[in-house]
Amino acid sequence: ADDGERLWDGKKDLLKQMRKLMQPLPKFLRQTQANQQEILGSPEFWFARSGAGAKAHMDGHCESTLTLQLAGRKKWRLSWPPSISNGSFAKDGLLADGEPYQAKGGWTPTHVVTLEPGEALLIPPAFVHESKNVGPEACAPSLTFQFADPAAAGFFRHFYPRLRRLGDFNECWERVSALATFDRSQNGLAARLKQLASTSIAKLSKLESADGASSELASAVLQATK
């Protein structure tokens, strides 16, 4: 988006207007400063003429992507991270633009969806994806942005056997490590554990004080924390 702003030859602050229009953020996105910076710092406009689009590829970043169809119709084909045989490792670049088509047996998408104007698609990290303008319009503009929180922690855990063999996923291991240990630093870990403890105690207090919902476990835990 910042590169586009430098190329913009008009007098309006295009990026600032775009960031303003994107707020308030959807409720499912955590409203932390870091997450807002990630979201508002990553918007991209994509303009695809009839029959054009992005070749199948996997993005190297660890964030999920949300794409919003502004006009026209765009067909998306997606697939799970590929399965790599035991004892082997896929080098970085295996899933670069257009490379999935070169795989033995070609590329077989597992999900196909066509976005109409006003519709959106969530693309998890490490998903192979392809897009194509399939509408009658000469151009099918869309807006995409990435978000880090909520993280795709369950996805990373479930597909770990595949992701650990993908070179295109290499830059994400620090992020995965932080998720697995709450944080890489002891200070961060202590803060996160304290936050979890406070949240748990608050929930137990609510349970204990609810009419007819007295809990012996809640009473014991609350007594131990006094």
Q: What is the pLDDT of residues 1-12, one digit of tens each?
A: 445 445 455 555
Which residue from 56, 61, 60 is spatially nearest to 168, judged by alpha carbons?
A: 60
Q: Whole-model pTM?
A: 0.70
The per-residue pLDDT for range 138-179, each reduced to its tens digit, is: 889 898 888 888 888 888 889 888 888 888 888 888 888 888
Band (190; pLDDT cuts 50, 70, 90): low
- The label of the residue with tokens 């509408």 reads 135
Cβ–Cβ under 8 Å, residues 144 and 54 = no
Question: pLDDT value at position 82?
Answer: 85
Per residue, the 3-state secondary structure of 166-177, as one string, reads EHHHHHHHHHHH
Q: How far is CA 131 from CA 46, 112, 209, in A?
A: 11, 10, 53
Cβ–Cβ under 8 Å, residues 84 and 32 = no
The per-residue pLDDT for range 64-95, each reduced to its tens digit, is: 999 999 999 999 999 998 888 777 788 888 88
Show Cβ contacts of residue 25 under 8 Å, excluding neighbours closer than 6 positions: 31, 36, 39
| Helix, strand, coil shares, percent, the chain, to 5 | 35, 20, 45
